[in-house]
Structures are given as structure tokens and as C-alpha cells.
């Protein structure tokens, strides 16, 4: 059998998660990628001078000068997965701090999202949003669009054109929304949902980059017949993902249960409508019912749902400082990833979400009298990469540097290198903690996680395609 043709080759250090709680540092590694964006070799240890002869053996047609040598202190990491992002809120990020969730939705969000009724506007804004998120290293996102079909189709097209992996969902909302931003009927909502699913499957028939996701916004904005219709769609089509907001804040949980008094928890409600399963992404999960073995934790575990942890939104918009019990979810083996919830919060950066996940887990440790230990850097990195990939159904496809997986990766470059004597060895734009010439990879990696920003994400690849090039 002949080896597949190589289209990309990288040599240097790559860092990824080897488990939920540990990273693996792959030094002196040669990674090759084929024309379909798949990793075909991950060879180590191999020194830089051995690379040309090894490549000549693997694929004699690959031009040796095209090898990318990533040298100290730069390194590769898997692309970031944003498991919860509202694309139409790109323009409102940061506004409405201090408001409770339902007031923020009425005052800020619904009027903003109503503007996406205009497909030309939607096309322009979505092109900007997708490009901005890619620049921040988000190689895969699970998007909520607005309730509009044409706008949603533009979002899927923008992801495909710019090369971002995405789940794209049209919001379903047929009640408790303003007259200018509400769907006229259950039938209209379901018909538009089906049209969007068909369109997404038409532009990407095998879902190699963009896939549809059912998106009942939350139970407050959906009538029972609409939830029922969406549950039927999910049941009849096992390849469809599902996403919704779940137990985000007390105000929202109380309002939900007063609309559906027959249920005592949101888990009971969404399970009743057949919306919970291994393809479901539940954003927030901050206020969970008591963990007595039969409560909501047990339901999410039993039904294999994934959680989009959005610590930025949970500590700003929403009403209070809400700290989701991530340590407990991880201990139970429940899938967890990070979400920016852009714009519920002030940032669309996964690096910021990583930091807030640490802060929130520290709060949880204090709150629980030390029982729920704070998250480690290794764990939050896992949530941002492989953990998120598992939540969006790509746990075997991306998230690690392994033969057979697709190459979604970031090249990270610290912007300031100092010698042991404090002399400047190299300098570029950025604010990341300076690194030293003899610093360990683990220490450099940790400095990037806690103090780097998009200026240190110098190149971004999705499925082997370069979507942000070094300037
Ligand atoms: N619940 C329902 N819609 C939204 C939204 O747009 N953002 C957040 N954070 N929560 C929601
Ligand atoms: Fe949200």
C-alpha cells in the first residue's frame, strides 16, 4: 500500500491532553497531514536534521523546503472548541453587565437579534464574527443563530467559506418574546428548522465542516407543542445534535418551572420532550438539583449529555456569580467543554473562558468547604480542546495530535523572550508573560494559558487549511 500524499509537515513541540487531567508534551515531533486534512504521521523523537530524509521516505514528492520548523519557544496545540456561541450577539458583547438574564434578553438581546431579519445585514455581520472567532483560535464552534432561516443559512455558509468547523442552529422561539422577534407558529418554526437543516446538508453533504443542530433557545421561549415537534425531529434523525440553555440562573429556572408546573426540574422537562441524549449540548448547568443519585446530575450522566461551561457569562450577565459544579461533573465522567457564550459576557476568547473557569472553580472550592477541588491548568486546557470536541460530537475526530484525527491546530508564539541575564532575545507585539531561554515547555505553555492572547496565536489550521496566517 502506498502512503497518502503529504500536504503539510511540521516539526517541533506539540502539546495536547493525554487525559482529562494531564497534558502530554511531544518534543521533537514530526507531524504530517494529507490533502484531506488528516494527520498521517506523528513521529517522535526525531531531530530537525533527520526530517528531510524521513519525509523523502514517506512521500518523495513532498518538497523539503515546505517543512514548517516550529522552534523554541513556539509550539503547537489543538484548536479551541467553543461549545456555546451566539453568533448574532457578536456586536453586543460586553453590554448589559449586571442585568438579570431575562431582563438582559428583553432589553439587549432580542432587539439586537431582531436585526438579523435582514439577510444582507446578517451576511455581513456573520462574515465578521466567524473571522474574528477564527483569529482567536476557535477552530470549531457550536453556534446559535437568530430565529431567522435566511440569516442562519448565511452563518453556515460563512463557516464553510472561511473554514471554521461548526454546528449551526436556527433558534426556535414561539412565545415570551417581543412581537418583532418571535415565530408566528409551531408549524412555521419547525418548517424553517427543517429548511435550515436541509440547506446545511446541501452545502456540506457529509458534514465534514458544518452540521445542523436543533436549537430550542430555552423552554421559556418554546411552547410544549414546539418542544414536542423538535423532540420528534431529534428522535427521527439520530445524526442531529441538539443544544439549549439549561439551569442557567435561578430567575430562569423559576420562570421555566412556573411555565411547566408538571415538572420539578429542567432535566425532567427536557427529557420528557426527548431532547436529552448523547448529542445534546446543555449550556451553563449552574443550578443543579441536589445530587442524591436520582437528581439532574444522574439524568445527565445516564443520558450522556454534554455540558457547555460558560464561566464568563455565568459571572457577569445572568444575575449573580454563578459557579457551575464542574469538578463534580468531571468526577462523574460527564462530558464538559468550554463556551464563550458570546455575547452573554464580555469576551469571545476561549483563553478568557479558560481563566474564568479557574476563577469559578476556586469559588466552588471555597463554597464547598474544600470538597470540590479547583480545576488545574491541565483540566481547563482539556475542556478547551479535547473535552469540547467530545461535547460537540467530534471526540474521535479532532482535539489531539494522533494519526487518523484531523489537523485542527494553533501555532503559539510567545512575544517576549529574555536571556537568563534579562537581555531581550526577541520581541513582538503582545502582553504574555515573558519566557526565558531555558524555560521548560510546561512553564511556557502555562504562561500562554494564563497571560497570552490572540497575538500569540500566530497561525490557525482547520482540517489542514490555514485560516489565520502569520503576519
Ligand atoms: N437564555 C436564553 N437565551 C439566552 C442567550 O442568548 N444567552 C444566555 N446567556 N442565556 C440565554
Ligand atoms: Fe447562551
Which atom of ligand 1 has the smallest separation from the CA of 310? Answer: 9
Q: Does domain 6-78+400-469 have CATH number 3.20.20.70?
A: no
In CATH terms, are 6-78+400-469 and 80-391 the same topology? no
pLDDT digits (tens, 9 = 90+) for 287-329: 999 998 899 999 999 999 999 999 999 998 877 789 999 999 9
Ligand 1 pocket, 7 CB below 6 A? no
User: Rounded to two decimals, what is the model's pTM?
Assistant: 0.98
Mean pLDDT across the stretch 342-355? 93
- The answer to whether 39 and 407 are in contact (CB under 8 A) is yes
Give the contacts of 305 (CB within 8 A, at least 6 positions apart). 276, 277, 278, 280, 281, 282, 334, 335
Tell me the HSE value of 37 on the side-chain side, using a 13 A CA sphere. Answer: 17
- What's the 147 CA to ligand 1 centre distance in angstroms? 13
DSSP character at residue 316: B
Q: Which residues pair with 335 in a beta bridge?
A: 306
Ligand 1 pocket, 284 CB below 6 A? no
Q: Which of 127, 124, 205, 201 is nearest to 168 (CA)?
A: 201
The neighbourhood of ligand 2, an ion, using CB within 5 A, equals 341, 344
pLDDT digits (tens, 9 = 90+) for 76-109: 999 999 999 999 999 999 898 888 889 999 999 9
Return the pLDDT at 98. 82
Q: Which helix (H) or strand (E) holds 159?
A: helix 149-162
Give the contacts of 138 (CB within 8 A, at least 6 positions apart). 79, 80, 81, 82, 85, 164, 340, 348, 350
Q: Which of 132, 152, 354, 306 is nearest to 143 (CA)?
A: 152
Name the pLDDT band for 2 (thresholds 50, 70, 90): low
Q: Quick one: cell of 92?
A: 453586543
- The answer to whether 339 and 121 are in contact (CB under 8 A) is no
Which residue ranges make up each domain of the chain? 6-78+400-469, 80-391
Name the pLDDT band for 342 (thresholds 50, 70, 90): confident
pLDDT digits (tens, 9 = 90+) for 105-130: 999 999 999 999 999 999 999 999 99
The residue whose CB lies within 8 Å of the most ligand 1 atoms, and thus the one to mutate among 82, 84, 100, 101, is 101
Measured from the alpha carbon of residue 101, the closest ligand is: 1
Ligand 1 pocket, 148 CB below 6 A? no
Ligand 1 pocket, 101 CB below 6 A? yes
Ligand 1 pocket, 218 CB below 6 A? yes
- CA distances to 84, 309, 334 from 304, in Å: 18, 16, 7
The residue whose CB lies within 8 Å of the most ligand 1 atoms, and thus the one to mutate among 88, 220, 245, is 245
Mean pLDDT across the stretch 190-216? 98
Judged by DSSP in three states, 137 sits in coil
CATH of 80-391, one of 3.30.930.10, 3.20.20.140, 3.30.470.20, 1.10.3300.10: 3.20.20.140
Give the number of residues written for the chain: 471
Torsions phi, psi of 115, nearest 5? -65, -20
Q: Indicate if the pLDDT at residue 1 is higher than 80.
A: no
Amino acid at each position: 500500500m502506498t502512503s497518502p500524499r503529504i500536504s503539510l509537515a511540521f516539526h517541533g513541540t506539540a502539546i495536547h491532553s493525554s487525559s482529562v487531567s494531564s497534558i502530554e508534551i511531544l518534543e521533537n515531533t514530526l507531524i504530517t497531514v494529507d490533502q484531506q486534512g488528516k494527520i498521517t504521521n506523528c513521529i517522535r523523537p526525531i531531530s530537525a536534521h533527520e526530517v528531510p530524509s524521513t519525509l523523502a521516505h514517506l512521500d518523495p514528492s513532498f518538497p523539503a523546503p515546505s517543512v514548517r520548523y516550529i522552534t523554541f519557544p513556539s509550539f503547537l496545540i489543538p484548536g479551541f472548541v467553543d461549545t456555546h456561541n451566539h453568533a448574532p450577539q457578536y456586536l453586543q458583547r460586553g453590554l448589559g453587565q449586571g442585568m438579570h438574564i431575562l431582563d438582559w434578553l428583553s432589553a439587549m438581546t432580542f432587539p439586537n437579534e431582531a436585526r438579523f431579519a435582514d439577510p444582507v445585514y446578517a451576511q455581513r455581520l456573520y462574515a465578521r464574527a466567524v473571522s474574528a472567532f477564527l483569529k482567536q483560535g476557535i477552530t470549531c464552534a457550536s453556534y446559535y443563530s437568530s430565529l431567522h432561516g435566511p440569516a442562519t443559512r448565511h452563518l453556515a455558509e460563512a463557516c464553510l467559506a472561511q473554514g471554521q468547523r461548526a454546528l449551526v442552529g436556527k433558534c426556535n422561539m414561539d412565545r415570551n418574546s417581543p412581537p418583532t422577534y418571535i415565530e408566528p407558529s409551531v408549524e412555521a418554526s419547525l418548517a424553517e428548522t427543517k429548511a435550515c437543516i436541509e440547506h446545511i446538508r446541501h452545502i456540506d453533504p457529509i458534514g465534514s465542516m458544518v452540521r445542523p443542530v436543533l436549537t430550542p433557545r430555552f423552554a421559556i421561549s418554546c411552547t410544549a407543542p414546539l418542544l414536542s415537534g423538535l423532540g420528534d425531529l431529534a428522535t427521527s434523525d439520530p445524526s442531529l445534535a441538539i443544544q439549549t440553555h439549561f439551569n442557567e440562573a435561578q430567575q430562569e429556572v423559576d420562570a421555566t418551572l412556573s411555565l411547566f408546573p408538571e415538572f420539578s426540574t429542567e432535566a425532567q422537562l427536557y427529557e420528557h420532550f426527548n431532547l436529552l441524549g448523547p448529542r445534546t449540548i446543555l449550556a451553563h448547568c449552574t443550578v443543579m438539583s441536589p445530587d442524591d443519585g436520582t437528581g439532574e446530575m444522574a439524568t445527565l450522566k445516564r443520558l450522556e449529555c454534554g455540558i457547555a461551561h460558560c464561566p464568563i457569562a455565568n459571572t457577569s450577565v445572568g444575575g449573580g456569580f454563578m459557579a457551575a459544579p464542574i469538578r463534580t461533573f468531571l468526577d462523574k465522567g460527564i462530558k464538559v467543554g468550554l463556551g464563550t457564550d458570546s455575547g452573554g459576557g464580555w469576551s469571545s476568547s476561549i483563553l478568557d473562558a479558560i481563566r474564568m473557569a479557574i476563577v469559578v472553580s476556586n469559588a466552588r472550592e471555597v463554597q464547598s468547604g474544600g470538597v470540590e477541588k479547583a480545576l488545574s491548568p491541565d483540566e481547563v486546557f482539556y475542556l478547551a480542546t479535547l473535552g469540547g470536541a467530545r461535547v460537540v460530537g467530534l471526540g474521535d475526530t479532532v482535539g489531539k495530535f494522533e494519526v487518523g484525527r484531523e489537523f485542527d491546530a494553533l501555532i503559539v508564539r510567545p512575544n517576549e523572550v529574555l536571556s537568563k541575564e534579562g537581555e531581550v532575545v526577541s520581541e513582538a507585539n503582545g502582553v504574555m508573560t515573558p519566557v526565558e531561554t531555558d524555560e521548560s515547555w510546561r512553564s511556557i505553555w502555562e504562561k500562554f494559558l494564563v497571560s497570552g492572547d490572540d497575538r500569540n496565536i500566530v497561525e490557525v489550521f482547520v482540517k489542514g487549511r490555514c485560516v489565520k496566517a502569520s503576519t
